[in-house]
Amino acid sequence: MLIKYVEFIKSATRAAHYPPGDLPEIAFAGRSNVGKSSLINVLVNRKSLVRTSSTPGRTQLINFFDVNGQFTLVDLPGYGFAKVPLAVKKQWGPMMENYLAKRANLRGVILILDIRRTPVAEDIQMLHWLQAYSIKPILVITKCDKVSKNERGKQSRIIAQTLGVTPEELNFFSALNREGKDLIWRKIEEVLPAETADAAGEASKAT
């Protein structure tokens, strides 16, 4: 995938404020601090397009980014951070379900999980919503640099089992050493409409 440019479009909480849905869209979801911003930054080759934060979970905004004028990347609000006020926590479910139900141009959601953690209720809820709305999930297991090969095998079986998927459906990633970057782009290209993926692929061959 050739990234010619990436531009922040806008933030929104409700559907009336989403940008026009005229381009195919890929969204990123996961609990706070899982490494969502780091993954997006590695994918688009930017150091800090999306802010990586040590005090996560305060923003409950849906952030839209334009890539090459060809498709949109969406940073969804993180969940599961203990210190977030209850009122903010309560907004998360309806905000997510509304987005997933209404965004007709949404082609796939990258659900990000930490290799060291067992999936939480919201991870499972997110996967169920994707199944219910027939939105293709791409499961990314991040922070893989933090565990041994052995531990990776053990944890991926636990994660797969908790989510009710096969370990083969898990895509391993590390923002530190960039393992998995190309594989995740291939998965994204698979869910983009053929003409979008082809256009981006042709552009990358030409350079």
Ligand X SMILES: Nc1nc2c(ncn2[C@@H]2O[C@H](COP(=O)(O)OP(=O)(O)O)[C@@H](O)[C@H]2O)c(=O)[nH]1
Footprint of Mg ion (CB under 5 A): 36-37
Residues in CB range of 37: below 8 A, 6 or more apart: 50, 51, 52, 53, 75
108 binds, among ligand X, Mg ion, none (CB under 5 to 8 A by kind): none
**CA nearest neighbour of 40 among 73, 70, 71:** 73
69-108 positions binding ligand X, by CB under 6 A: 78
Residue 37 Cβ, how far from Mg ion at the closest point, in Å?
3
**CA 32, chain centre distance (Å):** 12
Site string (101-140) toward ligand X, x via CB under 6 A: ----------------------------------------
Sign (positive/negative) of CA torsion 89, 92, 94, 95? positive
> Is 155 near ligand X (CB under 6 A)?
no
| 91 contact choice in Mg ion, ligand X, none (CB below 5 to 8 Å, kind-dependent) | none
Q: Give the closest residue to 19 by CA, choosing from 105, 83, 95, 133.
A: 105
- Please say which residue, 90 or 146, places its beta carbon nearer to ligand X: 146
Phi/psi for 9 (5° steps) reads -95, -65
> Contact between 60 and ligand X (CB under 6 A)?
no
Residues that bind ligand X (CB under 6 A): 30, 32-38, 52-54, 56, 78, 142-143, 145-146, 174-176
